[in-house]
């Protein structure tokens, strides 16, 4: 019960890593308010959890929607102890592709803007909505979802890598600015994790991916949830401003 009597807000909590994190936090004693854009999954999951936990359909890129949700969480529970900025999307495409001297394909402005809006601005929106409440109560833990793509780059992910690298920078700034109010801010950088997207790959492709990390396997959503849990808990009380990889020991270029 490492999160007993804590109120946790988790974005993108209806599926994948987010859902595993909600489940883990509930098991550890937290009261959880989570959001997602998938209303069907979110509502069903909320029914499974039951009271006192709650779900709200929310687009983290929509600043006014985020503020209304966070305000309502404080009205309902009286405080917010933990913010997990987990929500994120991908819209992969090559930066530019040229054939016979002619440009034939490139990442669109819409693909770039959408990923930045959700992955980077969404984290900004949620944290700026929550931070004043944490400052007022004099404590809090914020954990942001970066990625190994934000640290090492990844083919076809200019938008995603830029957004996740930005999160590393914001994490360091917020750790400095909010530390005086006893608020810790950290980030995690997952590598290949067995989500629905990977499960939909052909078996041979999935097997090839398993051989890339030195540990020779793909990580699980539960393992990522465990890292979120540690950084959110008092066990990590002197850790702030860090981005911790969870990638099976992957080294760029190997």
Q: How high is the mean pLDDT in each 10-residue block of the chain (254 residues)?
A: 97 97 98 98 98 97 98 98 97 95 96 98 98 98 97 94 98 98 98 86 88 92 98 98 96 62
Question: Residue 99 forms beta bridges with which residues?
Answer: 102
Tokens of 112: 């770039």
Per-residue pLDDT, 134: 98
Told to judge if 160 belongs to the known catalytic residues of this protein, a careful annotator would answer: yes
* Architecture of domain 7-245 in this structure: 3-Layer(aba) Sandwich (3.40)
Q: Select from 187, 198, 205 the least CA-distant residue to 242.
A: 187
Q: Select from 143, 122, 138, 25 the least CA-distant residue to 70.
A: 122
Q: Which residues of 122-144 are buried (b: 16+ CB within 10 A; e: fewer)?
A: bbbbbbebbbebbeebeebbbbb
8 A C-beta contact, residue 85 and residue 145: yes
d(CA 223, CA 177): 30
Other Cβ atoms within 10 Å of 240 Cβ, number: 21
Active-site residue, selected from the candidate residues 55, 133, 160, 228: 160
Beta strands per DSSP E along 163-210: 183-190
What SS3 state is found at 68?
helix
Per-residue pLDDT, 243: 98
Q: Residue 119 gets which letter from DSSP?
A: I
Do strands 96-99 and 102-106 pair parallel, antiparallel, or not at all (unpaired)? antiparallel
How many Å separate Cα 51 from the centre of its chain?
A: 24
């Amino acid at each position: 019960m490492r999160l007993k009597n804590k109120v946790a807000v988790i974005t993108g909590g209806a599926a994948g890593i987010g859902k595993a994190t909600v489940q883990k936090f509930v098991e550890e004693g937290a009261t959880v308010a989570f959001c997602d854009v998938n209303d069907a999954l979110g509502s069903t999951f909320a029914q499974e959890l039951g009271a006192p936990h709650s779900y709200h359909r929310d687009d983290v890129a929509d600043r006014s929607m985020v503020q209304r949700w966070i305000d309502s969480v404080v009205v309902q529970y009286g405080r917010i102890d933990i913010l997990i900025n987990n929500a994120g999307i991908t819209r992969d495409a090559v930066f530019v592709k040229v054939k016979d001297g002619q440009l034939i394909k490139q990442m669109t402005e819409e693909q770039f803007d959408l990923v930045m809006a959700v992955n980077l601005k969404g984290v900004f929106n949620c944290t700026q909505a929550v931070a004043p409440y944490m400052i007022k109560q004099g404590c809090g833990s914020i954990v942001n979802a970066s990625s190994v793509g934000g640290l090492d780059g990844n083919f076809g992910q200019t938008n995603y890598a830029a957004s996740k690298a930005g999160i590393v920078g914001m994490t360091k700034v917020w750790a400095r600015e909010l530390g005086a109010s006893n608020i810790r801010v950290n980030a995690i950088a997952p590598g290949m994790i067995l989500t629905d997207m990977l499960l939909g790959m052909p078996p041979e492709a999935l097997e090839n991916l398993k051989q890339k990390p030195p540990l020779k396997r793909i990580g699980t959503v539960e393992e990522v949830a465990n890292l979120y849990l540690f950084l959110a808990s008092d066990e990590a009380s002197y850790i702030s401003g860090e981005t911790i990889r969870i990638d099976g020991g992957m080294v760029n270029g190997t």
